[in-house]
Chain A
Amino acid sequence: MLSILALTARRELLLALRRPAEIVMPPLFFLVAATLYPLAIGPDNVLLRAIAPGVLWVAALLAALLGLQRLFAADFADGTLEQALLAPHPLLLTVWAKVGAHWLLAGLPLVAVAPLLAIQYDMAPQALGVLLASLLLGTPVLSLLGALGAALALNARGGSVLLALMLAPLYIPLLILGSSAVHAEAQGLGSGAHLLLLAGLLCGTAALAPWATVAALRVALE
């Protein structure tokens, strides 16, 4: 079981590494999107510090939506997904491996880039720490729910707009918790409760979303 998980994840990572441009895309988008706000709003440090948590979280969420459509599309097109469905091991393992690889390739880079943006927005060190913690807890949720959306959109027309329309309402609780954790820390209220709720959200999504994703893939493949 574990070897299948590891092999599938390794395959995903290898495939992605062969096309490095796609790995660079989400963090680059994150940087560009978050840079646009100060240009549009004006370089007022107080204002920027106030809007930083929300802006960075929204930008991270949009960046995570970017490559999602391709998560299952290539494997669906060339029949690999069908083979995974027919294989003796459960489809759930494939989903887990893909979600894990997606998080490593699209979620973790966002966390890595976040400090750079935090400097641009003049965030306090503690607030930065909470931002990193909230992104570490939150980006896996983006990948888990994103996989569900990508699986549902497999047979659909409408592409990334449909994906955004489906996923935005599901992402909103995460967005609220993530940005308010940083807000609370910046205002000196402490962010423990928010981070615990985020961790709870992660546990709940990790328990339920892969099952729903498998169901959605079965619908697409039937």
Chain B
Amino acid sequence: MGSVLVVVEHDRGSPAPATLEAMTAARTLAGQTGVDVEALTIGAAADDIAAELGAYGAAVVHRVHHELLDDYGPEAWGEVIAQAVVALGPSVVLATGTDRGNEFMAQAAARLDAPFCANVTEFRRGETFEVTRVRWGGSLLESATVTADVHLASVAHHSTDASPAETPSAAALSTLTVTLDPSVARTRIVARVEREAGVTLATAPVVVGGGRGVGSADGFAALQELADELGGIVGCSRAVTNNGWRNHTDQVGQTGTRIAPDVYFACGISGAIQHWVGAMASKHIIAVNTDPQANMVTKAGYAVIADLHEMIPAITEEIRRRRAG
């Protein structure tokens, strides 16, 4: 049986944090059948990551260098992975369950005409190869059987805690040669706008979220004031984005941003599962809702049964009073 090969996701040499989760999942899976974990790094910029991969259990790191690989490109990466599978004969190939990881794995799967399982939380390897994977953005789990010569999967982010190997190895380095047709350069990054520094929805310590209950775009002014008072940021539900009250960049949920603040104020939000999957990693949730039966109220750690239009200004005022006090 072939090795478990991990494709290392990185951006011009900066590894994606989730890559170490994939390495950890790969070690568990490889342990089930006593095979090695190997890693594949694409592009010379990734060479520096090799040492760390040994600490996470990689026996060999296969490096690929090519002039078309100095920056990310989905077709080039898919082609490299497909050629690595043919050259190295792994039985399983894993990557991160990020947008990029899912993209290059799907590109590779298309080239190999092999199945690809996105966002797997559990692997079972016996007579058959079985996976549990995330569906509906996390509201359902699917158990599936995969029949293939090579099993391609991505590891759902946060489903495995990244932990180093008990006996770290100095990974052996090897260089893998690939042939890339210039046509793969059709899908290369031609320009970038770096993100401005500062808090984002994904990193903010406090998020004040508003839902349909806010009632209008203007209604968000009070939420913004509370957010400013706490050094936080405003979020919203899809009902709000659909009404055009806020930009989609503020949307929390399955098709929005996943947040993990210290506190999430969920104001006038019912707590539909698609919203909840984006909010559930919050350390504390304070729901403000007129309906005591709302899902958000029953799931939150704290709740206030109140009209948000009265409640939010009252909270802001109380904070100011104590600060002045």
A, B from the same assembly: no
B residues lining the A interface (CB < 8 Å): none
A residues lining the B interface (CB < 8 Å): none
